């Protein structure tokens, strides 16, 4: 069941990746501040949380003010990794991100993921 749940999250994440790549409409100045270019792609990093029972997306917040190298260290990724994938976050990692997002997270109720969207 856990494998299926993670597979569905990856598919959902891929859908958000494609959908956000073709995002149109309102311009958001905060979005420009959170975006960065990695290997020629303009991307933004987000924390998304999903219900533990089921697979519904509950919320998302754009990460601002944290560098790729800091994310690589936090998630034990190699320094040459662009981190385009979805990463499930531990309770300790979620607590770390609270300082950047100024939001309370409930790790007992939701599963949290670091995700990357193309812009």
Judged on CB neighbours under 10 Å (0-12, 13-18, 19+), 96 is: middle
Judge whether 88 and 7 are in contact, CB under 8 Å: no
Percent residues over pLDDT 90 in the chain: 54
Q: Does pLDDT of 45 surpass 70?
A: yes
Judge whether 112 and 48 are in contact, CB under 8 Å: yes
The residue ranking higher by pLDDT, 28 or 45, is 45
User: What CATH number was assigned to the domain covering residues 2-118?
Assistant: 3.10.50.20
Collapsing DSSP states into helix, strand and coil, what is residue 56? coil
- pTM of the full predicted structure? 0.70
Domain boundaries, the chain: 2-118
In whole angstroms, what is the distance from residue 116 CA to residue 83 CA?
8
């Amino acid at each position: 069941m856990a494998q299926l749940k993670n597979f569905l999250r990856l598919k959902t994440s891929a859908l958000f990746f494609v959908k956000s790549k073709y995002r149109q409409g309102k311009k958001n100045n905060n979005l420009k501040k959170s975006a960065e270019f990695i290997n020629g792609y303009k991307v933004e990093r987000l924390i998304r949380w999903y219900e533990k029972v089921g697979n519904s997306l509950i919320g998302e917040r754009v990460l601002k003010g944290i560098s790729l190298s800091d994310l690589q260290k936090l998630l034990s990724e190699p320094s040459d990794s662009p981190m385009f994938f979805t990463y499930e976050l531990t309770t300790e990692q979620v607590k770390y991100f609270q300082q950047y997002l100024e939001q309370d997270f409930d790790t007992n109720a939701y599963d949290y993921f670091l995700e990357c969207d193309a812009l």
